[in-house]
Amino acid sequence: MLTATRTTTMLPVEDAERAGRFYADVLGLKPVTTNPDGTRIFALGQGDALGLMPAEKGAQTGHTVLSFEVPDLEGEIRELEGRGVRFDDYDLPDFKTTNHIAVMGTERAAWFHDTEGNILCLHELSDSEV
């Protein structure tokens, strides 16, 4: 069944070339191919993939569309900030970030946007959750 399949996450992008440069040059993902419709495919871990699908402006959603699990959240934040990524900060009654990081039980996370407005996340699980 589906539990043994590989997945491709499809993200809507207004400018596939611009988004492709961001995912390759800034995030360090490996480009695999560009489909005839302009969708750019990138390799992700475990054989999964990411597709950047050309779409009209405003096709992005207001929630996290992709989260990368990392072993060193602060290190990844520093590295991406060095490449020009700006992280989001929140100060809501039930949700706050400190130094870009929100603590949610045994998980810590930080959010940023790609060039197209998609919300991406870095998250780190405690040792007991790994």
Q: What is the DSSP string of the chain?
A: -GGGS--EEEEEES-HHHHHHIIIIIS-PEEEEE-TTS-EEEE-GGG-EEEEEE--TT-S-SSEEEEEE-S-HHHHHHHHHHTT--B---EETTEE-BTTBEEETTEEEEEEE-TTS-EEEEEEE-TTT-
Mean pLDDT of the chain: 93
Can you tell me the mean pLDDT for 122-129?
80
Q: What percent of the chain has pLDDT over 90?
A: 83
Query: Taking the model in full, what pTM does it have?
Result: 0.90
Instruction: Give the per-residue pLDDT at 101.
Output: 97
